[in-house]
Structure 1
Amino acid sequence: MYQHEAIITLEEKIVRLERTFRAPLKLVWEVWTNPLHIEKWWGPKGFTNPIVDFDFQVGGSYRIVMRSPEGIDYPVKGKFLEITPYQSFVMSDLVDEHPDEWVKEVQKIAGVTGDRSMLNSKLRVLFEETNGITKVILITEFMSNQIRDGFANSGMKEGWSQSFEKLEEEALPETNELIIEKKLSHPIENVFAAFADPTNINLWWGPNGFTTSTEFREFKVGGKWIYTMKAPDGTIYPNLVQYKEIRDCEYLEYIHGSGSTEKDDNFIVRITFTALSENHTIIKMKMTFPNSSVRNSVVDFGAIEGAHQTLSRLNQFLVTK
Structure 2
Amino acid sequence: MASTHLDNPPIISTRLVNGSAKSVFEAFRDPEILAQWWGPKGFTCTFREFDFRPGGDWLFVMHGPDGVGYEITYNFIDIVPAGRIVLRNPQPTHEFQLTITFEEEKGSTRVTWTMQFQSPQEAARVREFVIVANEQNLDCLEEQLTTLAA
Task: Report TM bin, short chain.
Answer: 0.7 to 0.9
Q: How far apart in 1 are the matches of 2:83 and 2:54?
A: 14
1:16-65 CA distance string (max 9 Å, x none): 11111011111100001111111111111111112253211111111121
Aligned to 2:140: 166
Q: How far apart in 2 are the matches of 1:168 and 1:80?
A: 23
Map 1:59-208 to 2 at 5 A: 59-95=55-91, 117-153=92-128, 155-169=129-143, 171-173=144-146, 177=150
Q: How far apart in 1 are the matches of 2:147 and 2:133?
A: 24
Structure-2 change in CA distance of 1:175 and 1:36 (3 Å): closer
Q: How many residues align?
A: 144
Deviation of the 1:119 alpha carbon: 1.6
Q: How far apart in 2 are the matches of 1:15 and 1:52?
A: 27
Which amino acid in 2 is paired with 1:19? R
Q: How far apart in 2 are the matches of 1:34 and 1:64?
A: 14
Q: How far apart in 1 are the matches of 2:74 and 2:149?
A: 35
Q: 2:40 aligns with which of 2, 24, 44?
A: 44
Tell me, yes or no, if the aligned pair for 2:61 and 2:69 is still in contact at 8 Å.
Answer: yes
Structure 1 consecutive aligned stretches of length 4 or more whose deviation exceeds 6 Å: none
Tell me, yes or no, if the aligned pair for 2:75 and 2:90 is still in contact at 8 Å.
Answer: no
Map 1:177-256 to 2 at 5 A: 177=150
Instruction: Please give the secondary structure, in 2, of the residue aligned with 1:141.
Output: strand
Deviation of the 1:176 alpha carbon: 5.4
Tell me, yes or no, if the aligned pair for 1:51 and 1:64 is still in contact at 8 Å.
Answer: yes
Aligned to 1:287: none
Which amino acid in 1 is paired with 2:110? K
Percent identity (aligned): 29
Instruction: Please give the secondary structure, in 1, of the residue aligned with 2:14.
Output: strand
Tell me, yes or no, if the aligned pair for 1:118 and 1:143 is still in contact at 8 Å.
Answer: no
Tell me, yes or no, if the aligned pair for 1:40 and 1:167 is still in contact at 8 Å.
Answer: no
- For structure 2, list consecutive stretches of 5 or more residues without a partner in the other structure: none
Deviation of the 1:118 alpha carbon: 3.2
Deviation of the 1:147 alpha carbon: 2.0
1:123-178 CA distance string (max 9 Å, x none): 1111111111111111111123332221213x111111111111111x2145855x
Q: How far apart in 2 are the matches of 1:175 and 1:49?
A: 19
Structure-2 change in CA distance of 1:176 and 1:56 (3 Å): closer
Which amino acid in 1 is paired with 2:133? G
Q: How far apart in 2 are the matches of 1:92 and 1:52?
A: 17
Aligned to 1:30: 26
1:179-223 CA distance string (max 9 Å, x none): xxxxxxxxxxxxxxxxxxxxxxxxxxxxxxxxxxxxxxxxxxxxx
**CA RMSD between the two structures:** 1.8
Q: 2:16 aligns with which of 11, 15, 20?
A: 20
Instruction: Please report the TM-score for the alignment, with normalisation by the length of structure 1.
Output: 0.42
Larger radius of gyration: 1
